[in-house]
Amino acid sequence: MNADEMRKRTKMFALIILKLADSLPRTASGRTIAGQIARAGTSVAANYRAAGKGRSKAEFIAKLGIAEEEADETQFWLEMIVESGMVPARKLESLQNEARELTAIIAASRISASKRK
Protein backbone atom coordinates (compact mmCIF):
# COMPACT_ATOMS: atom_id res chain seq x y z
CA MET A 1 0.00 0.00 0.00
CA ASN A 2 1.46 3.35 -0.97
CA ALA A 3 1.26 6.59 1.02
CA ASP A 4 -1.61 8.00 -1.05
CA GLU A 5 -3.74 4.89 -0.51
CA MET A 6 -2.94 5.02 3.20
CA ARG A 7 -3.98 8.69 3.39
CA LYS A 8 -7.30 7.79 1.77
CA ARG A 9 -7.74 4.79 4.07
CA THR A 10 -7.09 6.81 7.24
CA LYS A 11 -9.43 9.56 6.03
CA MET A 12 -12.22 7.04 5.39
CA PHE A 13 -11.57 5.60 8.86
CA ALA A 14 -11.95 9.09 10.35
CA LEU A 15 -15.25 9.64 8.53
CA ILE A 16 -16.65 6.33 9.77
CA ILE A 17 -15.54 7.15 13.32
CA LEU A 18 -17.34 10.50 13.12
CA LYS A 19 -20.54 8.75 12.04
CA LEU A 20 -20.16 6.33 14.93
CA ALA A 21 -19.63 9.21 17.37
CA ASP A 22 -22.79 10.89 16.10
CA SER A 23 -24.77 7.69 16.65
CA LEU A 24 -23.81 7.19 20.30
CA PRO A 25 -26.39 7.85 23.01
CA ARG A 26 -26.81 11.40 24.26
CA THR A 27 -26.07 10.34 27.83
CA ALA A 28 -23.14 11.68 29.85
CA SER A 29 -21.07 8.57 29.11
CA GLY A 30 -22.13 8.51 25.45
CA ARG A 31 -21.15 12.15 24.94
CA THR A 32 -17.83 11.60 26.71
CA ILE A 33 -16.89 8.60 24.60
CA ALA A 34 -18.20 10.25 21.42
CA GLY A 35 -15.89 13.20 21.95
CA GLN A 36 -12.91 11.04 22.79
CA ILE A 37 -13.28 8.64 19.87
CA ALA A 38 -13.98 11.49 17.44
CA ARG A 39 -10.75 13.23 18.47
CA ALA A 40 -8.62 10.08 18.43
CA GLY A 41 -10.08 8.63 15.22
CA THR A 42 -9.71 11.82 13.21
CA SER A 43 -6.26 12.42 14.63
CA VAL A 44 -5.03 9.20 13.00
CA ALA A 45 -5.74 10.66 9.56
CA ALA A 46 -4.54 14.16 10.40
CA ASN A 47 -1.22 12.99 11.81
CA TYR A 48 -0.62 10.45 9.06
CA ARG A 49 -1.17 13.23 6.54
CA ALA A 50 1.10 15.56 8.51
CA ALA A 51 3.83 12.90 8.55
CA GLY A 52 3.95 13.05 4.78
CA LYS A 53 4.56 16.78 4.96
CA GLY A 54 7.29 16.45 7.60
CA ARG A 55 10.25 18.79 7.19
CA SER A 56 12.69 16.19 8.45
CA LYS A 57 12.99 12.47 9.01
CA ALA A 58 12.65 13.05 12.77
CA GLU A 59 9.41 14.98 12.27
CA PHE A 60 8.11 12.26 9.94
CA ILE A 61 8.83 9.60 12.57
CA ALA A 62 7.31 11.70 15.36
CA LYS A 63 4.06 12.25 13.43
CA LEU A 64 3.84 8.55 12.63
CA GLY A 65 4.28 7.87 16.35
CA ILE A 66 1.39 10.17 17.16
CA ALA A 67 -0.80 8.55 14.48
CA GLU A 68 0.05 5.13 15.91
CA GLU A 69 -0.85 6.24 19.45
CA GLU A 70 -4.14 7.72 18.27
CA ALA A 71 -5.04 4.54 16.34
CA ASP A 72 -4.36 2.52 19.47
CA GLU A 73 -6.44 4.94 21.56
CA THR A 74 -9.27 4.60 19.05
CA GLN A 75 -9.12 0.83 19.61
CA PHE A 76 -9.54 1.47 23.32
CA TRP A 77 -12.63 3.66 22.82
CA LEU A 78 -14.13 1.07 20.45
CA GLU A 79 -13.66 -1.54 23.18
CA MET A 80 -15.31 0.80 25.69
CA ILE A 81 -18.30 1.29 23.39
CA VAL A 82 -18.78 -2.46 23.06
CA GLU A 83 -18.11 -3.31 26.70
CA SER A 84 -20.46 -0.58 27.94
CA GLY A 85 -23.23 -1.99 25.76
CA MET A 86 -23.70 1.17 23.70
CA VAL A 87 -23.26 -0.73 20.41
CA PRO A 88 -23.30 -4.51 19.87
CA ALA A 89 -19.87 -6.05 19.20
CA ARG A 90 -20.95 -7.50 15.84
CA LYS A 91 -21.71 -3.98 14.53
CA LEU A 92 -18.20 -2.74 15.34
CA GLU A 93 -16.21 -5.83 14.39
CA SER A 94 -15.00 -4.53 11.03
CA LEU A 95 -14.21 -1.10 12.46
CA GLN A 96 -12.22 -2.69 15.28
CA ASN A 97 -10.32 -4.78 12.72
CA GLU A 98 -9.55 -1.66 10.69
CA ALA A 99 -8.28 0.13 13.80
CA ARG A 100 -5.97 -2.81 14.58
CA GLU A 101 -4.73 -2.97 10.99
CA LEU A 102 -4.06 0.76 10.82
CA THR A 103 -2.18 0.63 14.13
CA ALA A 104 -0.03 -2.25 12.85
CA ILE A 105 0.68 -0.63 9.47
CA ILE A 106 1.60 2.71 11.00
CA ALA A 107 3.76 1.04 13.67
CA ALA A 108 5.61 -0.94 11.01
CA SER A 109 6.17 2.23 8.98
CA ARG A 110 7.48 4.09 12.03
CA ILE A 111 9.83 1.25 12.97
CA SER A 112 11.09 0.96 9.39
CA ALA A 113 11.68 4.72 9.14
CA SER A 114 13.47 4.74 12.49
CA LYS A 115 15.86 2.03 11.33
CA ARG A 116 16.76 4.06 8.24
CA LYS A 117 17.33 7.24 10.25
79-103 confidence digits (pLDDT tens): 999 999 999 999 999 999 999 999 9
CATH number at residue 70: 1.20.1440.60
Question: What is the pLDDT, as a whole number, of residue 101?
Answer: 98
Give phi and psi for 58, each to the nearest 5: -65, -40
pTM, entire model: 0.94
Three-class HEC string of 58-96: HHHHHHHHHHHHHHHHHHHHHHHHHHCCCCCHHHHHHHH
pLDDT higher than 60, residue 117: no
pLDDT computed for residue 109 by the predictor:
95
Number of structural domains (the chain) is 1
Instruction: Give the pLDDT mean for 38-63.
Output: 95
pLDDT at residue 22 greater than cutoff 90:
yes
In this structure, which amino acid lies at residue 7?
R
Q: Name the band, by pLDDT with cuts 50, 70 and 90, for residue 54.
A: confident
**Mean pLDDT value of segment 60-87:** 97
How far apart CA 100 and CA 90 sit, in angstroms, is 16
Residue-number span of the structural domain to which 23 is assigned? 3-116
How many CB atoms sit inside 10 A of residue 44's CB? 28
Give per-residue burial for 55-85: e unless 16+ CB within 10 Å, then b.
eeeeebbbbbbbbbbbbbbbbebbeebbeee
Quick one: pLDDT band at residue 41, thresholds 50, 70, 90? very high
